[in-house]
Amino acid sequence: MAGKSKGEQHIGLLNGFAAYGMWGLVPLFWPLLKPAGAIEILAHRMVWSLAVVGAALLVMRRWAWAGELLRQPRRLGLITIAAAVITVNWGVYIWAVNSEHVVEASLGYFINPLVTIAMGVLLLKERLRPVQWAAVGVGFAAVLVLTIGYGRPPWISLCLAFSFATYGLVKKKVNLGGIESLAAETAIQFLPALAYLLWLGTKGDATFGTEGAGHAALLAATGLVTAIPLVCFGAAAIRVPLSTLGLLQYLAPVFQFLLGIFYFHEAMPPERWAGFALVWLALSLLTFDALRTARRAARTLRAGTRASRTSIATGTVSAARNADSVAAGPDPVDAKP
């Protein structure tokens, strides 16, 4: 990112704020789609997302990846897993928001980094630094406190966190761009989603076309609501450091949390505040550790660069001296018989 101009980085930051801001404010959108149920909304999101990203890829003429993907069964299998996992994530989130569980949904994205780290240890055998272990421990304590506060495990939060962490893990192995990946995933989702919508229509329970043009337009807009933040995120990812994106990611759950309390007026008894406070403490530890590690890496890189330059300069001077020595002839002492 060092080669990026300040203007480019500013554009990246604006796109990052836009992406996470839209993801944070999306709880305002899903209730507008009532009386459609969560599954109907989910199915429309799949269908219209494919329409939007398909049109975008058609305009950009970026279809070469599709043929390559179809010739690679392993990657295609991973994309299918990603599609299944994100289906669960989207469905649970839409249901949670429209069932007045916005705060608990926001918790899922607060604890997602902790779950990602835990999965890295369990599945990838990654080694954690002491501060990371402390953060995971505090996060586990937070879940216990929230379980007591809710009178049940915070299953909405855990489902969202684990599904999104799994999605991220699978996506890393696929190595496909954001828009291309969304196109592939929604292409896999398309036929089941369309079949469900047609079945719903034959039963007379579909709301698309029966609740007015405005409602139909809002259901169709789910494609834009899905695709636009992703495009902004992609524009940010190539312009700003990953450490900056890592900090920006907390904007979305913060906005969701604030909406849950101040707009949707969801209850927050003391034990829930205590649980959230522990989660925020764990995230503070993670952020501190990540920034400290990044600074150390930057210092090491700078030191290595300076050492390399010094070595090159020393070698140049030495070579120049050797050249002078050759030009001057043998040393008189060495010329003795």
Percentage helix, strand, coil, to 5, in the chain?
Answer: 80, 0, 20
Residue 23 has pLDDT above 80, yes or no: yes
Report yes or no: 208 and 32 within 8 Å, Cβ to Cβ: no
What are the tens digits of pLDDT across the range 125-144? 878 889 889 998 999 999 99
Those residues whose C-beta lies under 8 Å from the C-beta of residue 264, and which sit 6 or more positions away, are 27, 100, 102
Q: What percent of the chain has pLDDT over 90?
A: 56
| Total structural domains within the chain | 1
Cα–Cα distances (Å) from 111 to 165, 205, 219, in that order, read 10, 37, 30
For residue 191, what pLDDT is reported? 96
Q: Grade residue 214 by pLDDT with cuts at 50, 70 and 90.
A: very high
- pLDDT (tens digit per residue) in 38-58: 999 999 999 999 999 999 999
Cα 34 from Cα 25, distance rounded (Å): 17
Roughly how many angstroms between the first and final C-alpha of the chain, as a whole number? Answer: 62
pLDDT of residue 282: 92
ω before 35 within 30° of 0 (cis)?
Answer: yes
Task: For residue 236, give Cα distances in angstroms to 86, 178, 239.
Answer: 22, 12, 5
| Mean pLDDT, all residues of the chain | 86
List the structure tokens of 147: 């379980």
Distance CA 220, CA 218 (A): 5
Contact (CB, 8 A) for 166 and 102: no
CA–CA distance, 280 with 243 (Å, rounded to integer): 18
Span 77-86, average pLDDT: 94
Distances (CA, A) of 180 to 175, 225, 314: 10, 17, 49
Q: Is residue 168 part of a domain?
A: yes
Residue 325 lies in a domain: no
In a domain, 10, yes or no: yes
Inside any domain, residue 75: yes
* CB 20 within 8 Å of CB 251: yes
Percentage of the residues of the chain whose pLDDT score is greater than 70: 89
Alpha-carbon distance of 115 to 289, in angstroms, equals 16
Q: Is residue 323 one of the residues assigned to a domain?
A: no
Which comes out higher in pLDDT, residue 292 or 258? 258
| Sole residue written with tokens 């915070």 | 154
112 compared with 326, residue with greater pLDDT:
112
- The model's confidence at residue 336, banded by pLDDT at 50, 70 and 90, is very low
Per-residue pLDDT, 1: 52
Q: Letter for the amino acid at 119?
A: M
Tokens of 90: 């989207």
User: In the predicted model, what is the mean pLDDT of residues 234-242?
Assistant: 80
What pLDDT is recorded for position 310? Answer: 58
Mean pLDDT of 30-34: 97
Give the rounded distance of the alpha carbon of 223 from its chain centre: 18
Structural domain that includes position 88? 6-315
Rounded to whole angstroms, the Cα distance separating 276 from 279 reads 5
Distance (Å, whole) CA 278 – CA 144: 10
Q: What is the pLDDT of residue 4?
A: 62
Q: Decide if 108 contacts 158 (C-beta within 8 A).
A: yes
Query: How sure is the predictor about 295, in pLDDT bands with cuts at 50, 70 and 90?
Result: confident
Phi and psi at residue 138, to the nearest 5°: -65, -40
Q: Is 305 exposed, middle or buried (0-12, 13-18, 19+ CB in 10 A)?
A: exposed
Q: Is residue 252 part of a domain?
A: yes
| Domain-located, residue 330 | no
**Residue 329: pLDDT band by 50, 70, 90 thresholds?**
very low
d(CA 282, CA 225): 31
Place of tokens 């969701």: 256
Q: Mean pLDDT throughout 284-294? A: 84
Confidence class of residue 263 from pLDDT cuts 50, 70 and 90? very high
- Whether residue 327 lies inside any domain: the answer is no
Torsion of CA 275, 277, 278, 283, to 10 degrees: 130
Residue 242 has pLDDT above 90, yes or no: no
Q: Where are the beta strands (DSSP E) in 96-169?
A: none
182-194 pLDDT, tens digit each: 999 999 999 999 9
- SS3 label, residue 57: helix
